[in-house]
Amino acid sequence: MNAALVAVVKPQLRHMSNPLAARRGFERFARAFLARPSGVIVEREHPEEAPELFWHRPAAGRPKVLIYFHGGGYIAGSPRTHHGLLASLAKVAGIAVCTPRYRLAPEHPFPAAQDDAYAAWRHLRQTGFAPRDIALAGDSAGGGLALSLVARLCAEHTPPAAVAVFSPRTDLTGSGASCRTNAGRDPFLPVERLAELAGHALAGHDPRDPLVSPLFAGFPASPPVFFAVSETEVLLDDTMRLARRLEAEGVETELQVSPDSPHAWPIFVGRIPEADATVAQAATFLARHLGLAGGRLTASPERSAGS
């Protein structure tokens, strides 16, 4: 998988400057590389006060829910690009997964995505879910979005039950040393595009604002957090700095560091075994903190092109 990413995907990302072209490219990438969902019911909801929600429900779900925020640098991605991952999380954890189709930059820069994330949370609360019945998760920019929402909810004294993030982007200032030391090792992300992505998302807003860079946020009475990151990715320090700080503050953290997986590798569930293993570990972590018995990944999504 890494060889294909280095040869095909990373060069395209390096030379793709148009956000709309990047959006279309991510959809093509998902169809070509990522697995299809299976074994779940997929539904769409259109709340008046929240973004469109995609639901992936297992056949025998329990009265808990996971809100998942897809990655894509705040300019690309959608619930459709992550169908396979969302289906796997739903099946392994045994709960419904709710994925907001949050607004994307550059048409909708900060605070659009953050407002949509909070609106999705409020919608679930208003439909009867207590904070202890809701977990949050996300990958890449979506992982940062999940963590920013957690910080906001901690400040409001209504934290979710648990959080799981895969290669989260927590620092839009790009100050992590790994942005330099791993620039040549990361098989997926070209480091020279990170500042441009941040510019689209921020539209001149301060990148140190905790609402966009949760590395700088406070997490009073934080719920347990699961982190997964690869040693070779440019965003390694975005995870390591926040995970170490939370652990030092007494937050229950679980950290999985892969030696050479690509950025946000759980999106490749059903394609590579390390993605299956990490999804199983994260889903078990979330299920445990939601008060449910954890499970194992017993069935992967189909390995054909996504829908």
Active-site annotation holder among 88, 140, 167, 230: 140
* Contact predicate 203/273, CB 8 Å: no
Active-site annotation holder among 233, 258, 261, 274: 233
Does the active-site annotation cover 196? no
Active-site annotation holder among 263, 274, 289, 300: 263
* Contact predicate 289/277, CB 8 Å: no
Helices 112-126 and 141-155: crossing angle in degrees, nearest 10, is 60
**Cα angle value 118/122/124 (rounded, 5°):** 120
CA distance 279 to 96: 15
What amino acid occupies position 287? A
Question: How far are the Cα atoms of 77, 176, 232, 288 from residue 181, in angstroms, in the given order?
Answer: 27, 9, 9, 36
Does the active-site annotation cover 107? no
Does the active-site annotation cover 140? yes
The three-class DSSP label of residue 162 is: strand
CA distance 265 to 230: 9
CA distance 115 to 112: 5
Q: Which residues are catalytic?
A: 140, 233, 263
